[in-house]
Amino acid sequence: MARGRRAPRMCDPAAVFRRLVPAPLRERVFDPAIADACRERRVRRRRRRGPIARAGAEALFVCRVLNAVRECRAMARDARQPFDAPRERPALMTRQDFMFALRMLRKAPGFAAAAILATALGIGANAAIFTVVKHVLLQPLPFPDPSRLVDVNEYGREGRATAVSPPNFMDWRVQNRTLSGISVYGDQVLTLSGGPEPVRVLAGTIDAEFLNVLRMQPQLGRALTVDDTRPGARQVVLLGHDLWQRSYSGDRAVVGRSVTLEGLPYEVVGVLPAGFDFPGESELWIPLRFAPDDLASNQRGAHYLAAVGRLRDGVTAGQASADLDRIEQELARQFPDKIEGYTVRAVPLLNSMVEGVQRPLLVLFGAVGFVLLIACVNVSNLLLARATTRTGEIAVRSALGASRWRLVRQLLAESLVLSLAGGAAGLLLGSWGVRALMAVAPADLPRAATVSMDATVLLFSVALSLLAGIVFGTAPALVGSRPDLTVFLKDVRRDGGSTGGRRRVRAVLVAAQVALALILLAGAGLAVRSFNRLVHVHPGFQAANVITLRIALPEGPYPTMASTVQFYRDYVDRIRQQPGILAAGAVSIAPVTRAGFGGTFTIYGRPEGNDEGNAQVRSTTPGYLETLRIPLRAGRVFDGRDSETAPRVAIISEAAARRFWPGENPVGRQIRVHVNESNRSPREIVGVVGDVRTRGLELDPVPVIYVPHPQYGGDGMAIMARTAGDPMQALPQMTNALKTLAPGVAFSRAQTMEDMMSANVAEPRFRSLLLSVFALVSLALAAVGLYGVVAFSVSQRRGELGLRMALGAAPSQVLRIVLREGMTPVAAGIAAGLAGAAVLARVMRSLLFDVDPLDPLTFAAVALTLSVVALVACYLPARRAMTVDPAGTLR
Amino acid sequence: MSPRRIPEITHLQFLVLGMLREGERPGRSLRRALARHGVQRTGPAFYQMMARLEDAGLVAGAYDQKIVDAQIIKERRYALTPAGDAAWTATRAFYSEAIDTYGARKARPAHV
C-alpha cells in the first residue's frame, strides 16, 4: 500500500471543477469526497452494465461533483462571515426568477420556439464564423514568442511585394541593428522515392538560421548547420513529424539513414516536432544553398525568396522596417538599375500569413453580427407583442406590490432563458456550420486544418447569448414593466393595452430590422455581382476539355537540360498519340495559378535607358499554345524547328507588344531575357499571341514572353492535353504513358483546366456564397418579423377596424390602412439601410472586381426585393383585416 | 473535587473518535458506520468535520492509494492520535460522571 501526503489525481470532470473550490478546502474536504464519489461510480458501473446504467452512473457522479463544489464554496463563505454580518445584497436574479420564466415560456411554446430559433440562427452563424476567425486570424503562431516574428519583404516600384533577392538579404543580415536573427527560405515540391510509389512532398528550403529564428528545436537528431548549406556539402534532410510517423513508423533509428529525394540520396539528420510545418505545409526541410553566382551583384534584381526575422527586445516592426529600408536605399544608390525605387518592410509574420483572408473573414464576421442583430430585433418585437398581451398580468402583479425593478428582473429573466436556450441550439447549428464552412472554404485558407470548435468558442457563444438576451430583452422589459392601469381597467379587449408608445417602439424595431437586412443584402448583392463578373472574365484561352497535370523531374536521373528536354518531348509525343487526345503541350507555369516567374529583358536597337522591359517568362513545348487555343495574332507559333541548336526565338503576348512596341510590329525584333540566361545570345521575336490572365482572373493580363522549352529548359512543367470528350477520362492514359516512359517520376495536381479556374475563384465564391446565405437568412428573419408585427397589430385592432367598417369603410380602405401602417417603418428602414449600405460598402471596395461599391443597380435591386417581400409580409395579415365582421366586433 | 468541564467535542465527533479506537479506517468506512447510526452526511460535510478533527490534532489523515484490478483506488484514511484518544477518554469520563451524578436522581420515582 502506497501512502502519500499529496492529493491523488482525480477523475477528469472533478479535476476541472476543483479549481472552483476554495484552496483550503481542496485537499482535505473536496478531494476525499470526490474519491468516495469515484468509488461509488466504479461500484455502480460494475454492478449494472449497459449504456443507460453507465450514463446514470456518470450523471450521478457529475451531480456529486457539482454539489461538492457548491457545498465547499458555502463552507468557505460561512467561515468568512461572522454571525452578526449584514445580510448580503439580494442577487441580481434569483433561481426563482428563472424557474418562473421557464414556467411562463412553457405556457407559450410557439412563441418560445420562434424566439429560440431566431436566436439560434444568429448565435450559430456567429459561432461558426468566430471559430474560423479565431483559428485563422487570432490564434498565435505555434512558435515561442511568436509576436516578435516578422515577415521581411521587398516591395517593387509599383508598391507590390516582390519576394527577396539573395544578395540584398545577405546585406540586411550583416548590417541590420533591429533583428536578433533573420533567415531566408523557400519551398519546392520534391519526389520522395523508396516506397511502393514515388510521392510528391512539399519541402521547405531553409538556411542554417531558420530554426533558430523560429526558436524551434528538432525532436530527434540535430538542426541544419552552416556547413550543411555550403555548395557541394553532402545532402541532408530534416523530416517532419507526420512524414516520420507515416513513412518510417516513428522509427527513432531513422536519423543517420538515407532517403531518396529527386533520385538522389539524402541523409536524415533530424526530425522536427509534431505540428511544425512552416513554410506552407512542408513535410521535410533541406538546406538552401547559394552558389557564388546567386549572390553576385547582377542577382540583386532576382526576387524569389521569403525572409523571416525575429525582432530584438523593445524593437517594433516599424523600427525594423525603417532599419532594413535604410540598408536597401543605400544598396539602391549602388545598384540603381536593379533595385532603385524598391523598399523593404517588416510586418508581423501572422499578419503577413493571413493578409489575403483577413478582410474577407472580417466582412463575414460583420455580416453574421448583422444577422444576430436582426434576430435580436425580431425577438425584441416578439417580446414586445407578448408584453402587450400580458398587460393584465403585469398590472395585477404591480397592484399586488411588485416593484418596477422586480418586474423588469422577471421579464429580463425570461429573455435570458430564451437567449441561453437559443445559444445552446445555436452552438449545435454552429458545429454543423463549421463543417459546412470548411467544406466550401478555399483550399488555400491558411491554418484551415486547425479550425474546430473549442472552449473559447463555447465561452464566446455563451457571452454572446447573454448579451443578446440583454439586448433584445431590455426594451421590452422596460416597456412591459410599465403597466398602464387605466388602459387595462378601461377595456383590455379593445386594444389589449397596446399603447401608442409601444406601437412606436415596434415600428422603430421593424425599421431597424429592415435597415440591417438591406445592408446585408446590398453587401451580398455586390459580392455576387462581383463574382459573376469574375467568372465571366475571358481568361484568354479555351479551358473546356483540357486536362492538366504537373511533373517535376528528379535531378538524379535527369541531370542535364538535354535530358529534361528529351523527356518532355517524348512524353508530349506519347500523349498526342493516345486516342481521344486532340492536342498536347507543356508550359513551365499553368495560367491562372497565381504563380509567377519573370524579370527584366533587354530590347535590342533601343537607346540605353529605354531598352529594358519587365515580363513574365513561360517556357513552352510546341503544341502548348494550340492546346489552350491561345490565338495567334502575328507571325508563327513554336514547332519542331525551334530545337536546342536552332536560332533562338521567342513569342510575346499582345500586352507585351502594346507596352514595349506601341504602334510597331515586334515580329523580327530581338530581345535578351535576363532570368536564367543573362549571358546568352539574343532571341528573335517570331510571333505575337493573345493575352492570357496568367496570375488570376481578377488581374489584368501582364506582358508575357514565351520561349521554346528546348532552348530554355525547365525541370517542372504543367502538361496540358485537349480531349474530344470528358478530359478526366484521359488521365489514366496520361499516367500510364508516364509510368511506361519514366517509372520513377511522380505527377501531381491532375485536374481539368475548368477546375483549376474554379479553384482560382474559390475565395470570392466562398465569400459571395456565405454573404448570400446570411443575407437570405436576414431577409427571412425580417420578413417573418414584419409579418408577426402586422399580424399582431391586426389582431389587436380588430375592434377598431370593425367599427370603421360598420361606419362605412370599404374593405379596400381597411387594407390601405393596414398596409400603410406596416409599410411606413419599412420605407424608413429602406432609406436608413441604403444610407448605411453606402457607407459600409466602402469596406468591401478591395474585395470587389469590376463593380462599384455604390453600384446603383445592386442598390435598386435589393431595395426593390426588400420592398416586395415586406409588402407580401404585410399583405397576408392585411387581407385578414378585410374579412373582419363589423357586427361581430361591435357585439 | 471540582466537576469536570463540558467536553469540547460533539456527539458525532465522539462517535467517530470511538470508531477509530478500534484502529485506522478509511473515511468511506466511517461514513458507512455513521449511516448505521442514522447520520446521513454529504461527502464534503463529513470530510469538513474530519478536517476539523485533524486541525484539532485529534485524528491524523493521509491519502492511501492501491491498485485493484488494474484500477487505482484512492481514499483518505484516518487514525486516532494520542490527543484524540485522550479527548475521547475525557468525554467518556465526563458522561460517566454525569450519569453517576445526575442519572440516579432522575431514576427516582415521581411523587404522586
- pLDDT per residue over A853-877, tens digit each? 899 999 999 999 989 988 998 888 8
> Domain for residue B106, yes or no?
no
Q: Which residues of A touch B72 (CB under 8 A)?
A: 8-9
**Which of A21, A28, A39, A72 should we substitute to test contact with B (largest number of B Cβ atoms within 10 Å)?**
A28
Instruction: Give me the residue from B43, B50, B74 closest to A68, CB to CB.
Output: B43
pLDDT surpassing 60 at residue A39:
yes
**β pairing state of A632-635 and A683-689:** antiparallel
Q: Is residue A590 helix, strand or coil?
A: coil
Contact A3 B63 (CB under 8 A): yes
pLDDT surpassing 80 at residue B25:
yes
A-proximal residues of B, 20-59, CB under 8 Å: 27-28, 31, 42-48, 50-51, 54
**Residue A891 has what pLDDT?**
63
pLDDT surpassing 60 at residue A256:
yes
Check if B69 contacts A (Cβ < 8 Å). no
The chain-wide mean pLDDT, for chain A, equals: 85
**Residue B70 has what pLDDT?**
60
Mean pLDDT, residues A439-468 taken together: 87
Check if B8 contacts A (Cβ < 8 Å). no
**How far is the alpha carbon of A59 from chain B, nearest alpha carbon, in Å?**
17
> Domain for residue B3, yes or no?
no
Instruction: Give me the residue from B28, B45, B71 closest to A36, CB to CB.
Output: B28
Placement of cell 502575328 in the chain: A634
Q: Range of B90's domain?
A: 11-100
Decide: A733 and A581 in contact? Cβ < 8 Å: yes
Per DSSP, what are the bridge partners of residue B77?
Answer: B26, B62
Of residues A1, A278, A752, the one with CA closest to residue B63? A1
Distance in angstroms (rounded) separating the CA atoms of residues A371 and A350: 29
> Domain for residue B105, yes or no?
no
**Residue A310 has what pLDDT?**
95
Contact B54 A64 (CB under 8 A): no
Decide: A689 and A723 in contact? Cβ < 8 Å: no
Q: Which residues of A touch B61 (CB under 8 A)?
A: 28
Q: Domains in chain B: how many in total?
A: 1
pLDDT surpassing 70 at residue A548:
yes
Contact A75 B54 (CB under 8 A): no
Which residue would you say has higher pLDDT here, A739 or A388?
A: A739
- Contact residues of A toward B, CB < 8 A: 1-9, 25, 28-39, 42, 64, 67-68, 71-72, 75
Contact B51 A5 (CB under 8 A): no
Which residue would you say has higher pLDDT here, A362 or A6?
A: A362
Check if B64 contacts A (Cβ < 8 Å). yes
E strand spans, A194-326: 199-206, 220-221, 236-239, 258-261, 264-271, 284-287, 306-311
Q: Among A289-298, A534-543, A747-756, which is the least confidently predicted range?
A: A289-298
pLDDT surpassing 90 at residue A285:
yes
Instruction: Give me the residue from A4, A39, A67 closest to B63, CB to CB.
Output: A4
Decide: A61 and A41 in contact? Cβ < 8 Å: yes
Of residues A200, A202, A198, A166, the one with CA closest to residue A183? A166
- Range from A103-117, A456-470, B93-107 that averages highest in pLDDT: A456-470
Q: Which amino acid is at A732?
A: P
Ramachandran angles phi, psi of A339, nearest 5°:
-130, 20
% pLDDT > 70, chain A: 93
Check if B62 contacts A (Cβ < 8 Å). yes
The CATH number of the domain holding residue B17 is 1.10.10.10
Distance in angstroms (rounded) separating the CA atoms of residues A36 and A599: 75
Q: How many CB pairs under 8 A join A and B?
A: 77
pLDDT surpassing 90 at residue A551:
no
pTM: 0.66
